[in-house]
Amino acid sequence: MSNFDVYAIPKMKILTADQIKKCDSVTIEKGISSINLMEKAARACADWIEENFELKNKFLVVCGHGNNGGDGFAIARMLYEKGFDVEVFINGDDLKFSPDAAINFKKIKTISGIDIKDFSEVFNVNNEKSVIVDALFGYGLNRELSDDFKNLIEKLNQIPVPKISIDIPTGLYADKIIEENSIVLKADFTLTFQFYKRSFLHPETGRFCGKITVLDIELDKDFIDEVETDYFIIDEKLIREIYKPRGDFSHKGTFGKSILVGGSYGKIGAILMSTLSALKTGNGLTFTIAPECGNIILQSRIPEAMFIGSGENYIDTIEIQEKAVYGIGPGLGKEEQTQKALFDFLESYQNPVILDADALNFLAENDKLSLIPKNAVITPHPLEFERLFGKTDNSFERIELAKQKAKELQIFIILKDHHTAVITPKNKVFYNITGNSGMAKGGSGDVLTGILTSLISQKYNIEKACIFGVWLHGKAGDLAAEEFSKEAMLPTDLINKIGEVFKRLN
C-alpha cells in the first residue's frame, strides 16, 4: 500500500549525494571494480523489470553521458539478453561518455538487435506496450538542466506509457529542493540504489517518483555504519528493534496510565478516538478528561476508559495526577477558560506530555512556546507548525527550522505530512514511510495522539515512542485502506486495524 518497497537494506540512513559518491568510491577501493559495480546495479534493475513486466513490453532506454547513462546501456543489454525488445536513445551530437558508460556503450554497439537512435526519435513511440527507462541523470545532477534536456523530458512526460527512472527521476537532486516549476521526469517507478534519497520524501519532489524500490547493491557496510547523518527512514527492521512484546507476568500497572484531555460540545468524537486508540495500543489504565456533555457518549462507547468531568461544554480545569502521561488537544475547542486551564496545567506539570491540535494553537496565538515542557511531544501539521514557528519557503526548510526549534526547546516535533517526520532534540530526523492519502481526514491526528500517549505511558522512551507511533499509525492506515479503500476508510477503521499490526509484529 505504501509507495515503498525495501529489500534487505543494512541501515536506514539517508545520505547526501556527496556521501553516496564517497560510499561508491570506498566500495570500489575495497575490491569491486567500478564497472562491476555498475554491472551489479544494472543487474538488479533488469531483474526487477523482468519480474514486473511482460516479454511483450518494449523498452525505450533513454541514456545520458554519465554513470546513470552507463547503467542504462547495461540495463538495455541485459533486457535484450532476457528476450525483451529494446531501443536505446542518446544525444547523437555528444558521445563523450564517462569511462564506464563508454565501456557499456561499446558493448551494446556490437549487439545488432539493439537499435541506437538519437533523442529526437523517441517521440515516434507508437507501441502501447512501450516502457520508457530514464537513465539520463542520477545523483550526479548538480545544476539546472539545459533547455535541450528540459524539452526532451517535457515530451517524454507526455508519452502515455509507463516510465521507470533509474536511481533518481531525472531533474531531481538527491538531497535538496528544486526550483518551482522545474522540469522533472515523472516516473511511475523509481529503482534506486541502496539508499532513500531525501528528495523522495518531500512533497514538492517526491511526487515525481511513483512507486519506489530500493535495490541492495552491497555498498560498503562499514562505511554505511560509520557515516554520520541526521536523516533516517523508519523501516520495519527498526520497528522490530523498538517493539517490546507484552510479558506474561505483567499486570495493568505495568502498561502505564494515560490521560487524554480534550473534547468540547460538538467535538467529543475527537477525544473519543484518542482514548480508543490509547486503549487499542495496549494501555493498562486509560482516563479521559472531557466536559460533562461527553460523559454518556464516552462511557457508553468506551466502557474500558475512566471519565473525569471538567466543565459543562468545554474543559475548565486540567487536574494533575501522578505517574500518568498526558495527551492534550483533540477537540479541545477555543474557549478562553480552556486556554487558561491548559496554561495553568503546563506551568506546574513536569512529566511527559503530548500536545496536539487546539493545544498547539493556544500556545501559538499567545506566544507561549516557553510553556512547552522539556521532552514534550508536539504533533503539528504544516499550518500549525507555521503558526508556532513561522513561515518557511518549502518543506526542506520546514524540517531545518523544526530541527532548530526541537533543539532550542528540547522537545520532539512530529511534523505531519505525506511522509511524517519525527524531529528529535538531538537533531535527528526520522521520516515515516507507512501511511497513505486515505488518512488525510479529520480524526487521523486524534488517533496519533492516543497512540503516542499510550506508548510513552508504557515506558517506551520518548524518541522510540514517536518513531514507533507514527509507523504504527501509518501501517494501520495502510491496512484500513487495503480493506476499505483510501476513499472510504475512516479514522475509526484505522483504530480497528491497530491490533492487526501488533499481530504481525508478534
In three-state secondary structure terms, 364 is helix
Integer-rounded Cα Rg, in Å, for the chain is: 26
C-beta of 286: minimal distance to K ion in Å? Answer: 50
C-beta of 274: minimal distance to ligand NAX in Å? Answer: 44
Residue 33 CB contacts under 8 Å (≥ 6 apart), including other chains: none
Q: Which of ligand NAX, K ion, none does residue 134 bind to, with CB < 5 to 8 Å depending on kind?
A: K ion
C-beta of 146: minimal distance to ligand NAX in Å? Answer: 6
> Near ligand NAX by CB under 6 A, which window of 37-45, 122-130, 155-163, 379-387?
37-45
* Residues 235 and 12 sit within 8 Å (Cβ to Cβ): yes
Beta partners for residue 423, in sequence order: 413, 429
For ligand NAX, the binding residue among 110, 124, 126, 146 (CB under 6 A) is 146
* Residues 340 and 321 sit within 8 Å (Cβ to Cβ): no
Nearest residue (CB) to ligand NAX, 144 versus 365: 144
Which residue in this structure is represented by grid cell 530514464?
134
Neighbours of 303 (CB within 10 A): 8
Q: How far is CA 172 from CA 89, 137, 186, 188, in A?
A: 20, 9, 10, 15
Dihedral over alpha carbons 56, 57, 60, 63 (to 10 degrees): -110
> Near ligand NAX by CB under 6 A, which window of 45-53, 59-67, 80-88, 367-375?
59-67
Nearest residue (CB) to ligand NAX, 38 versus 498: 38
Nearest residue (CB) to K ion, 74 versus 411: 74
Confirm or reject binding of residue 98 to ligand NAX (CB under 6 A).
yes
Confirm or reject binding of residue 139 to ligand NAX (CB under 6 A).
yes
Confirm or reject binding of residue 145 to ligand NAX (CB under 6 A).
yes
Nearest residue (CB) to ligand NAX, 149 versus 314: 149
- Say if residue 467 is exposed, middle or buried (CB neighbours under 10 Å; 0-12, 13-18, 19+): buried
Taking the C-alpha atoms of residue 471 and residue 242, their distance in angstroms, rounded to an integer, is: 11
Nearest Cα to 300, choosing from 280, 324, 334, 275? 275
Long-range contacts of 307-316 (CB under 8 A, 24+ apart): 308/259, 310/341, 311/337, 311/338, 313/264, 313/265, 314/264, 314/265, 314/338, 315/261, 315/262, 315/263, 315/264, 315/289, 315/290, 315/291, 315/341, 316/340, 316/341
Taking the C-alpha atoms of residue 373 and residue 352, their distance in angstroms, rounded to an integer, is: 8
Taking the C-alpha atoms of residue 201 and residue 433, their distance in angstroms, rounded to an integer, is: 8
Cell of 492: 475509526
Confirm or reject binding of residue 64 to ligand NAX (CB under 6 A).
yes
Neighbours of 95 (CB within 10 A): 10
Confirm or reject binding of residue 193 to ligand NAX (CB under 6 A).
yes
Residue 134 counted as an annotated binding residue: yes
Cell of 16: 547526501
Confirm or reject binding of residue 157 to ligand NAX (CB under 6 A).
no
For ligand NAX, the binding residue among 96, 124, 128, 143 (CB under 6 A) is 143
Transcribe 53-81 into DSSP letters.
S-TT-EEEEEE-SSHHHHHHHHHHHHHHH
C-beta of 13: minimal distance to ligand NAX in Å? Answer: 17
Nearest Cα to 473, choosing from 503, 497, 505, 437? 497
Confirm or reject binding of residue 173 to ligand NAX (CB under 6 A).
no
Restricting to residues 115-134, which ones interact with K ion according to CB under 5 A?
Answer: 134
Confirm or reject binding of residue 67 to ligand NAX (CB under 6 A).
yes
C-beta of 42: minimal distance to ligand NAX in Å? Answer: 7
Residue 427 counted as an annotated binding residue: no
Identify the DSSP state of 499.
Answer: H
Nearest residue (CB) to ligand NAX, 27 versus 434: 27
C-beta of 215: minimal distance to ligand NAX in Å? Answer: 10
Binding-site size, K ion (CB under 5 A)? 4
Identify the DSSP state of 146.
Answer: P
> Near ligand NAX by CB under 6 A, which window of 63-71, 248-256, 380-388, 415-423?
63-71
For ligand NAX, the binding residue among 6, 16, 19, 24 (CB under 6 A) is 24
Confirm or reject binding of residue 67 to K ion (CB under 5 A).
no
Residue 270 counted as an annotated binding residue: yes
Confirm or reject binding of residue 34 to ligand NAX (CB under 6 A).
yes
Confirm or reject binding of residue 170 to K ion (CB under 5 A).
yes
Nearest residue (CB) to K ion, 217 versus 261: 217
Nearest residue (CB) to K ion, 165 versus 286: 165
Binding-site size, ligand NAX (CB under 6 A)? 25
Confirm or reject binding of residue 141 to ligand NAX (CB under 6 A).
yes
User: What are the residues binding ligand NAX (CB under 6 A)?
Assistant: 24, 34, 37-38, 41, 64, 66-69, 71, 98, 137-146, 166-167, 193
Report the interface residues with K ion, using CB under 5 A: 134, 165-166, 170
Q: Which residues are annotated as a binding site for K(+)?
A: 68, 134, 170
Residue list for the binding site: 67-71, 134, 138-144, 167, 170, 270, 331, 381, 416-420, 445-446
